[in-house]
Homo-oligomer: A and B are copies of this chain.
Amino acid sequence: MAKNNQHEFENSIMPWLGKTGKMMFVFMADKLKQHGLNMSMEQAIILKILHEEDGQPQNNMALVTNRHKATLTRLLDTMEKNHLVTRIPDPADKRVKRVYLTRHGRQHFESMIPVFSEAAAAIQKGLTETEITTLISILKKVQSNINF
C-alpha cells in the first residue's frame, strides 16, 4: 500500500511542477542580479502586480501572490524603505492601506522588462507554439483544481 502510494506520487506532475518552478525562480533571480537589478524576485513580483493595477489594498496583494498578509507587511516595509512603493490609507475605509508604485519603482520595473523577456525566451527555447499553449491550458486546469 505504501509502495503503491509511493509509485503514484513518483508518476504525478507534482514533483515536476515543484522542481521546475523552483529552478525557474532561481534562474530569474540570478538574471536580475546579473543585470545589476538589485532586487529580489519577491519584490519584482510586487512591482509587476502593481504595474498591472496600482493602488491595491495589501490584503488583495497577499491573496494574488499566495502570501500571508503578515508577509506582505514586511515585504512592503522593505520596498517602502527603498522608495519603490508608498502606502496610502484609504479614506473610505480606515483599515485599508493602498499600495502605489513610486516614480522610482515604476522606472525600476520598466528596466526589468527586457530582462524578463530575455529570460522568458531562454526558458521556452525549442518549445513549439502548440506546446506553449498546451502547457498554459494544463496549468490553468491545475490552478482551478487547487482553488476549488
Contact = CB atoms under 8 A, between A and B. Distances in A.
A143 B20 contact: yes
Nearest to A119: B14
A74 interface: no
Interface residues of A, number: 52
B14 A120 contact: yes
A124 B139 contact: no
Nearest to A19: B143
A22 B63 CA distance: 12
A66 B120 contact: no
A8 to B, nearest CB: 5
A114 interface: yes
A58 to B, nearest CB: 18
A121 interface: yes
Interface in A93-148: 110, 113-114, 116-117, 119-127, 131-132, 134-136, 138-143, 145-147
B66 A26 contact: yes
A145 to B, nearest CB: 5
Interface of A: 2, 5-6, 8-9, 12-14, 16-28, 45, 65-66, 110, 113-114, 116-117, 119-127, 131-132, 134-136, 138-143, 145-147
